[in-house]
Amino acid sequence: MNFLALDPAALRLCCAVAETGSFSAAGRRCGLTQSAASRQIQRLEEALGVTLFERTTRSVRPTPAGEFLRAHALRLLGDAALTVQRLGEEFAGAPRTLRVGWSRSIGISHLPGLLHAFEARHSEVRLTLEQNAGAALLAGLEQRALDLAIVSDPARLPRTLERLHAFADEFVLIAPRRLGPASAKARPARELLRAWADERWLLPLGSSGAGGDVRTWLRQHGLRRHSAIELDSFDVIASLVALGLGVSLVPRRTLALFARGRRPLVHPMRPRYRRRIAVLARRELPRPAQVTDFVAAILFRK
């Protein structure tokens, strides 16, 4: 095998073919014709001594070797891009940048507490924000497309990542005003869930970490059969509950953006439900100053 075949252009083309399933689409992305893209991949396969793609008249699919190379190519390309960026920041006077991703289960109302102090103290840092699914954010960290990810604390982390900070996020049961006023005192969660058993539940996607955790808690407190609409944003869920479309269990801070007369009613319950939100980064030393400064400046207002 010839490792010199793994030049950045070849790696980018390999990733493009795997992502698009087409030599023509990958060629357009990389500024090549279909035939030139096909020939370049063939030369790469010959240099490496492995078949990277299965070709049919209808599709192009990566082989296990192709998937392996794609995963490592993304990391290699990320390493190269980050090295150039850090060189500019440390030795050429380029502005420092910080790329932060936050999961879709963490609402917009969380962001002021997470960003305010850092922005006030480090306005010279160019901050880029990205919202995505938690799994995509972890992949972005590993591929060096992100510097930090703010997500529901996963049970397991890849060995390449670590938690830099974690804090509790309290959830509340919310319902539209048509179901009557909320009690001044906390009611047993089982009692509330039993009363709302016939209501439509608005829940985060079951495939997400937050969605799985919410469903587990609801089952543990007696809600086993229910009609549900799945969404990927607690902000949207709370808005739909306020409009009378159902009931839900959402982070308390999600309600901060609502005007007082327009928010859904919060029904106090016991026991309370909390999740942990974690700030994740790659395991690396020395850590860029802007990453350390962001974690040190986090504000989470109760």
Low-confidence stretches of the chain (pLDDT beneath 70): 1-5, 299-302
Q: Are strands 248-251 and 161-175 parallel, antiparallel or unpaired?
A: antiparallel
- Which H, E and C letters describe 89-156, residue by residue? HHHCCCCCEEEEEEECCCCHHHHHHHHHHHHHHCCCCEEEEEEECHHHHHHHHHCCCCCEEEEECCCC
- What's the confidence (pLDDT) of residue 2? 59
- What's the confidence (pLDDT) of residue 255? 92
- What's the confidence (pLDDT) of residue 38? 92
- What's the confidence (pLDDT) of residue 79? 78
Beta bridge partners of 274: 170
Q: Identify whether the C-beta of residue 269 lies closer than 8 Å to the C-beta of residue 248.
A: no
State how far the Cα of 230 lies from the Cα of 84, in Å rounded to an integer: 42
Instruction: Specify the CATH superfamily of domain 95-167+281-297.
Output: Periplasmic binding protein-like II (3.40.190.10)
Which residue intervals of the chain bear CATH 1.10.10.10?
A: 3-75
Which residue intervals of the chain bear CATH 3.40.190.10?
A: 95-167+281-297, 169-276
Domain made up of 169-276: CATH architecture? 3-Layer(aba) Sandwich (3.40)
State how far the Cα of 34 lies from the Cα of 60, in Å rounded to an integer: 12
- DSSP H helices, the chain, are 8-20, 23-30, 34-48, 64-91, 111-121, 134-142, 189-195, 209-220, 234-242, 289-297
Task: Please say whether the structural domain 3-75 has been given the CATH code 1.10.10.10.
Answer: yes
- What's the confidence (pLDDT) of residue 22? 92
- What's the confidence (pLDDT) of residue 107? 84
- What's the confidence (pLDDT) of residue 1? 56
